[in-house]
């Protein structure tokens, strides 16, 4: 009986993990894609005008992944900042900007100290130069609870690391 119980618990655990491990390819933009990412199968996705909106299964992590032309970056960020303000997110300090390279990707990370409902929240922009032939950039606008940020860190890193050519 104990072996059967272990087998059932193990199968249930594998089924739960499969939702995080199994992934589906999302290509951006949907018409004439130039870039793709892998999103865990259990994460919810919805199309946006420039890309895709993605939410973790527990909705503790939310981000947009979009392509844009560098000349449009200020307008895109203004749109996103308006959304966050409408959700009650309040900026709580100066942005911290860092730049790094991850493989062939050049990334500018902007961490924005912020609060939501009076508590700290994680708000971050990743402007990614993936060397796309038409010069477009990829913007990842990320919002998460501190707990969700920690809980889904590995899955989110895998999503970012999967950024590449559409499949």
56 with 43: CB under 8 angstroms?
yes
- 50 or 6, which is more confident: 50
| pLDDT score recorded for residue 10 | 34
Q: Percentage of the chain surpassing pLDDT 70?
A: 87
How high is the pLDDT of residue 11? 33
pLDDT band (50, 70, 90) for residue 32: confident
Q: Which helix (H) or strand (E) holds 48?
A: none
What is the overall mean pLDDT for the chain? Answer: 85
């Amino acid at each position: 009986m104990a072996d059967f119980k272990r087998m059932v618990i193990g199968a249930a655990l594998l089924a739960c993990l499969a939702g995080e491990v199994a992934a589906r390819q999302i290509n951006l933009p949907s018409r004439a894609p130039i870039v793709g990412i892998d999103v865990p199968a259990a994460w919810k996705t919805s199309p946006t005008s420039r890309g895709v909106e993605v939410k973790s299964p527990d909705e503790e992590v939310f981000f947009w992944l979009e392509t844009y032309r560098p000349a449009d970056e200020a307008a895109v960020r203004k749109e996103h900042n308006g959304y966050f303000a409408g959700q009650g997110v309040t900026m709580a300090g100066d942005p911290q900007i860092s730049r790094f390279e991850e493989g062939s990707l050049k990334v500018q990370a902007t961490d924005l100290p912020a609060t939501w409902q009076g508590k700290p929240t994680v708000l971050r922009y990743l402007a990614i130069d993936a060397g796309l032939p038409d010069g477009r950039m990829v913007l990842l606008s990320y919002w998460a609870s501190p707990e969700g940020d920690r809980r889904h860190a590995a899955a989110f890193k895998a999503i970012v690391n999967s950024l590449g050519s559409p499949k």
